[in-house]
Amino acid sequence: MRTDEIVRATEALMPDLVDQLRHLVSIPSVAFPGYPPEPVERMGSETLEAVRAAGFEDAALMPVPSGFPPIYGTIPGPEGSPVVLLYAHYDVQPAPEEQGWTSDPWAATVKEDGRIYGRGAADDKGGLVTHLGTVRVFDGKPPCTVKLVLEGMEETESNLEAFVEAHPELFACDVFVIGDMGNLRVGEPVLTSALRGDVACVVTVRTLEHPLHSGVFGGPAPDAMIALAHLLATLHDADGNVAVEGVSRGEWTGEDLGEDDFRSAADVLDGVALAGTGLIGTRLWAEPSVSAIGVDMTSVAGSSNVLVPEARAKISMRIVPGSDPRAELDALVSHLESHAPWGAHVEVQRTKKAPGFRCRTDGPGYAAAREALAEAFGRPVGEAGCGGSIPLLQTLATAVPAAEFVLWGPEDVAASRIHASDESVDPTEIEKLVVAQALLLEKLAARAPDQVVTP
């Protein structure tokens, strides 16, 4: 198909794709433990129907030992044509009331800005619909072989990595297209070339054998929560840069996200300074960041005049793409064990070590994706990073070492607010991504047979 034909076909599909997205958003497919399984099962079943209707006639919910199954399907292309594997996920983050949603997260709402609001609208049901729209542009008969994988537990404890390791042959392809990213701003195309990794631990601080009356013993007797606060404060310097010795650092040379755009996207309160120094892009995608994502201690409601003997926190550290997660976690643990105030007892439990990821950017598949994205958006394409980690990508790279990766999607950083309240997607991003992906398939299909690497 010519570019103008792809553009017209996509435009004609958009009303139906938007309706499909709005319906899928209404299904609360939260795969986290403690949430009802029925909505996730319904999401899997209805998505499977949509996948088959789009042209993946052999699509099925794949058997996995536990958890919600991935959907896998294939549309065979002409003999000898390249193989492209499209990836997205059908589960979503929770949307608790305390997040402060201004509309029902499970009822897709189109607001004055034209964006579609609802949990999963961007992450990643928008990506899912983009993939379905891509094959529908070709009436279910794309110019090369297309595989589709839709994960059911991406937001929680993924079961897809083990499935890939057990069935690597299913994932053999020339190009992985990961539809779980986005541009920095609407209408400004970027390819994501690097993902930070993530390591985590739980640190427990103890100072007393048991609780004590704060009036009788307060002062000389060290409170564990205060000791923990002092310990956590050592993780950053006065400017907010990570102060953990031995962690990897780098410099970002791709597209940058300006401070004003970042403040707006993050809804930083007036008068609050941003943490760290240097380019926003470097701080986001080439430097580590440390957060205390959970704290256990006496609640305010249950508090009394008592010194706390024990407090603990869960620490998450985003790590530089390409760094060794074991070494980075070792550096974090060593810091926590050696910086406790007043000789407080510290115990650290390692809980996570997920690697970052770097895309190969000099291959023919990546070049074709850049050309396709530029044509679809009508402007030059930049490169961006992502602070989120997708450990699956390294598993896929190990299973299919010759394959290239294309990371993009409809989740614009400046406004989508994925994982937060009022998550949304701009439908024009979906439309342009459908065009870009269809163009990518055409460009890959036009490659000489000796450029195809899939066995």
Strand order across the 345-354 sheet: 289-296, 310-319, 197-206, 345-354
Between helix 125-137 and helix 3-25 the angle, nearest 10°, is 140
Asked which of 336, 353, 370 is the last residue of a domain, the reply is 353
pTM: 0.90
Question: Over the chain, what is the mean pLDDT?
Answer: 95
In a domain, 255, yes or no: no
Q: Rounded to whole angstroms, how far apart are CA atoms 249 and 331?
A: 13
- If we measure between CA atoms, which residue out of 57, 74, 54, 76 comes closest to residue 140? 54
Catalytic residues: 91, 154
In a domain, 283, yes or no: no
Say which residues have a Cβ less than 8 Å from residue 65's Cβ, sequence separation at least 6.
159, 162
Q: What is the CATH number of the domain that holds 304?
A: 3.30.70.360
pLDDT band at 257 (very low <50, low <70, confident <90, very high): confident
**Whole-number pLDDT of residue 450:** 52
pLDDT tens, position by position, 211-232: 999 999 999 999 999 999 999 9
- Co-location of 327 and 380 in the same domain: no
Together in a domain, 150 and 45: yes
Residue 172 lies in a domain: yes
Given a cut of 70, whether residue 455 has pLDDT beyond it is no
Q: What is the pLDDT of residue 338?
A: 97
Residue 414 above 80 pLDDT?
yes
Does a structural domain hold residue 438?
yes
Query: In the chain, what is the greatest distance between 2 CA atoms, to the nearest angstrom?
Result: 83
Q: What is the distance between the alpha carbons of residues 262 and 318, in angstroms, rounded to a whole number?
A: 18
pLDDT at 390: 85
pLDDT digit string, tens, across residues 298-342: 999 999 999 999 999 999 999 999 899 999 999 999 999 999 999
Considering its fold, how many domains does the chain have in total? Answer: 2
Can you give the pLDDT at residue 385?
92
Residue 422 predicted with pLDDT over 80: yes
Q: Are residues 190 and 201 in the same domain?
A: no
Looking at the structure, do residues 73 and 23 belong to the same domain, yes or no?
Answer: yes
Is residue 258, in this structure, part of any structural domain at all? Answer: no
Final residue belonging to a domain, choices 353, 371, 399? 353
* Same domain? 240 vs 178: no
Q: What is the pLDDT of residue 386?
A: 86
Q: How many helices (H) and strands (E) does the chain have?
A: 12, 18
CA–CA dist 25, 22 (Å, integer) = 5
pLDDT score at 69: 97
Which two structure tokens, joined as six digits, stand for 130?
């983009």
The reported pLDDT for the residue numbered 454 is 53
Q: Does residue 344 have a pLDDT over 70? A: yes
CATH of the domain at 155: 3.40.630.10
The two structure tokens encoding residue 129: 């619909």
**Cβ atoms within 10 A of the Cβ of 245, count?**
9
Q: What is the pLDDT of residues 278-303, one digit of tens each?
A: 999 999 999 999 999 999 999 999 99
> Is residue 236 in a domain?
yes
Residues 23 and 87 in one domain: yes
What percentage of the chain exceeds 90 in pLDDT? 93
Residues 202, 191 share a domain? no
Residues 6+ apart with CB under 8 A from 365: 174, 175, 404, 406, 444
Structural domain contains residue 270 = no
**Residue 278, in any domain of the structure:** no
Same domain for 339 and 202:
yes
Read off the pLDDT of residues 354-412 as tens digits, 9 standing for 90 and up: 899 999 999 999 999 999 999 999 999 999 998 777 889 999 999 999 999 999 999 99
Residues 215 and 112 in one domain: no
pLDDT-derived band at 353 (thresholds 50, 70, 90) equals very high
Residue 314 dihedral angles phi and psi, to the nearest 5°: -95, 125
pLDDT tens string 143-189: 999 999 999 999 998 999 999 999 999 999 999 999 999 999 999 99
d(CA 22, CA 357): 32
Residue with the two structure tokens 């993050």: 266
How far, in Å, CA of 416 to CA of 113, rounded? 12
Distance of alpha carbon 233 from the chain centroid: 28
Q: Which of 353, 381, 409 is the last residue of a domain?
A: 353
Domain that holds residue 50: 3-195+357-451
Are 146 and 166 within one domain?
A: yes
Same domain, 405 and 301: no
Are both 348 and 367 inside the same structural domain?
Answer: no
